[in-house]
Amino acid sequence: MDAPGSFSGTCIVTEQLDAVLARFGETTAKWTDETTLESMRAGLDGIFTEYPMAAKTRYWPATGAVPGEWVEVDGVAADQVMLLIHGGGFSMGSARAHRSYASHLSAACGLRVLSIDYRLAPEHMFPSAHEDCLTAWNELLDDGVKPEKIVICGDSAGGGMALALSVKLRNMKAAQPACIVLVSPWADMTASGQSYHDPEILDPISSRDMALGMAATYLGEADPSDPAASPTHAKLHDLPAVIIVAGSREVFLDDARSIERSISAAGGKAILKIWPNMIHQFPLHVSALDEAEAAIHEIGFFVTERIG
């Protein structure tokens, strides 16, 4: 396999990324001070709901305490589950928007995906979303799924919550998942890493001010350096194997680097893949970016090695 980002069709890749960014721009350009949060949520979801699902995908509503969707392709292992925690700055995003992404993860990893709709801010403040992640995990166990047959996966804010969930389970001396998948994780609510300030990182999606604003909306009066909210501030020992996928053009990049360093220093297994010229959450654009498809295949290889 080629190294991440080493594609021969550079012009094609640039055209694909430009098209993705144009769709973002068309959506966000309509937002004004009078645009409601519901309209913003619908607009952001619309970017992703247009992407096609993997072949032979089925999906249906989840019926547990935490709403969401089950997504699977034909032929997956019935006893293997990915708990998928979407991103969106704690105030946006949905299982519906992640449906295409979930279907491709199901195909690449050979398992069922439970994509949850945790409670969003500002209607629900910290730690509501984190509590929903733990509830969803516990319900999988109650349904008879073995922890060693579960993968926890999250992107952006969902990546931070995925890591925080594993830390929570460790602190509870509870069973851990087979492995963890973090895509463009936002795991430091203080936004203190160098990448948040680096003028050479030309992030077309996010900024430090945006991150701090989203953190304030979810946290309220809570301490942003609380390890429960910012797992980069936690001790990351005795965790399952982790793969971290990030793009070089995102302000959250140092969160990914910090997670890898901390886990490795504690003697754990952490694989960090930084894809050149890629943006925040780029694997979600699997139907639009060649790199997204390649990254998901890489995630699939990592997962199947540990859960198969």
Cα–Cα distance measured from residue 251 to residue 198, given in angstroms and rounded to the nearest whole number? 8
Q: Which residues pair with 69 in a beta bridge?
A: 61, 115
Whether 293 is a known active-site residue: answer no
Q: Which residues pair with 68 in a beta bridge?
A: 116
Query: pLDDT tens-digit profile of 12-66?
Result: 568 999 999 999 999 999 999 999 999 999 999 999 999 999 999 999 999 999 9
Number of folded domains that form the chain: 1
Instruction: Please tell me whether the overall predicted TM-score, pTM, comes out greater than 0.85 for this model.
Output: yes
Give the gyration radius of the chain's Cα atoms. Answer: 18
Whether 280 is a known active-site residue: answer yes
Q: At residue 274, what are phi and psi to the nearest 5 degrees?
A: -105, 120
Domain membership flag for residue 82: yes
> Domain range holding 150?
10-29+55-307
Q: Do 228 and 164 meet the contact criterion of CB atoms below 8 Å apart?
A: yes
Which residue in 86, 104, 233, 280 is the catalytic one? Answer: 280
Whether 26 is a known active-site residue: answer no
Cα–Cα distance measured from residue 74 to residue 142, given in angstroms and rounded to the nearest whole number? 25
Q: Which CATH number do you get for residue 231?
A: 3.40.50.1820
Domain membership flag for residue 173: yes
Task: Give yes or no for residue 271 having a pLDDT over 70.
Answer: yes
Cα–Cα distance measured from residue 139 to residue 133, given in angstroms and rounded to the nearest whole number? 10
Which residue in 69, 72, 139, 250 is the catalytic one? Answer: 250
Domain membership flag for residue 140: yes
Domain membership flag for residue 222: yes
Handedness of CA 200, 214, 258, 239 (dihedral sign): negative
Q: At residue 113, what are phi and psi to the nearest 5 degrees?
A: -120, 125
Which residue in 106, 115, 156, 258 is the catalytic one? Answer: 156
Domain membership flag for residue 214: yes
Cα–Cα distance measured from residue 187 to residue 252, given in angstroms and rounded to the nearest whole number? 8
Domain membership flag for residue 3: no
Domain membership flag for residue 4: no
Task: Give yes or no for residue 5 having a pLDDT over 60.
Answer: no
Domain membership flag for residue 240: yes
